[in-house]
Amino acid sequence: MRYKMLKKLIVSNNQMYRHMSGFVSQYNENHIPTTPLQKIMLSVGSAAISLFEPRRADMISTLGETTGTHALKYIRDKMINNPEGNEILQLQPRINSSTVDFGKLKDMPHNTLGYAYFKFLDHNKVTPDSRGIVQFIDDIQLAYVMQRYREVHDLFHTVLGMPTNMLGEVTVKWIEAFQTKLPMTLSGGLFGAVRLKPKQREQYVKYYLPWAIQTGLNSNFMLNIYFEKRWEQPIEELHKELNIKPLEIFDLK
């Protein structure tokens, strides 16, 4: 019975895609169909390049797309079975400079999610426009799930209070690994930790990794949060809702 209801929801969501424009049209323009063998070759190649050149965001993205099918289905099912998550799947919102009024976020009270997100982007000199479009995922719904994951990654950093240095990235990757099951997040947590500086590694083992494991296991599913409708929510209130206790020790170089 549950399977039939889930299948019905998936079909219903797929039927709504014809009414969507933003993501669907962009996906259709960029999608590259690949065979299972080609996906394996892309996985191996992107994994090798990512290992030796971890700054190659394009290779990391490719690895995520070609190895994440089962995890993306897991994420999709969790979203479908949550009212807020299912709404995200139906409306397919995007997070970029054309959909978010950053001037408005800047003027929000300093205790809100919106202001915290603006401050995070401004302080770390990053932009949501840097997230590439999905290319190698053939199921359009799963492709959107991956796109959504990419575009809320900086919001995960914001909510978790983690900087964009290697220590912060590795910590967030561990929490994402527990929440999403995406292989690329697990590999990012494992191999990223090897690149930590001695002082960072000491703090990582003593504080960050235990906190990441506890948070990843006990926090509520963050991809079910419709962040764009929560800009005015006090971030402390969101922490309580997600069962997240921020780590006070961070931003080490």
Residues at the binding site for Zn(2+) are 153-154, 157, 169
Binding residues: 153-154, 157, 169
Rounded Cα–Cα distance for residues 87 and 78 (Å): 12
The DSSP output letter for 137 is -
What's the token pair of residue 142? 């799963």
Buried b (16+ CB within 10 A) or exposed e, 102-123: eeebeebeeebbbbbbbebbee
Alpha-carbon distance of 20 to 30, in angstroms, equals 16
Q: Are 58 and 132 in contact (CB under 8 A)?
A: yes
